[in-house]
Amino acid sequence: MKALLVGLIGLIASIYLVDSLTCNKCSVGLVGFCISQTEETCAGNQSCYTGKAVFTSISSFNGFNTQGCLDTSGCNTTSTSSILGASYTVTQTCCDTDKCNPIDTSGAPPVTYVSATMALSAALLASVWSSGSMI
């Protein structure tokens, strides 16, 4: 009886693991490079996604990106907003196979470690450039 119970638990666990979607996770990415990358296992109502924020007034700046698991209700959406007077567009694109959201979104080799200071400086610089004023 004990062997049957252990076998049943193993079967249920393997079915659960087969149904789980594994995605690349990038909490903060700058110009197509992930600052810290990991993997994430999605819940049943989630898909892998890549989110990209681009400042519309700065065509040469590739923007920021995030990746991971996202509820399917937020998939394949685009929204526009502004911060400190600079307009930006956020696009969230989803996919449904393991690791279908590649960490490297720029085509260049990934950079894993970039300082937070550099990321914040780029955001401030983008804001200043878009407003047309200098500090």
Does some domain include residue 115?
A: yes
Does some domain include residue 2?
A: no
Does some domain include residue 7?
A: no
Does some domain include residue 111?
A: yes
Does some domain include residue 108?
A: yes
So what's the pLDDT on residue 107?
47
Does some domain include residue 70?
A: yes
pTM of the complete model: 0.62
Does some domain include residue 16?
A: no
Q: Domain residues for 77?
A: 25-131
Vertex 108: Cα angle to 116 and 82 (nearest 5): 50
Mind listing the pLDDT tens digit for each residue in 47-103?
Answer: 999 999 888 887 777 788 899 999 999 999 999 998 888 889 999 999 999 999 987
Does some domain include residue 10?
A: no
So what's the pLDDT on residue 83?
86
Mind listing the pLDDT tens digit for each residue in 94-122?
Answer: 999 999 998 764 544 444 334 444 555 56
Mean pLDDT of 18-44: 86
Counting the structural domains of the chain, the total is 1
3-state per-residue secondary structure call for 59-93: CCCCCEEEEEEEEHHHCCEEEEEEECCEEEEEEEE
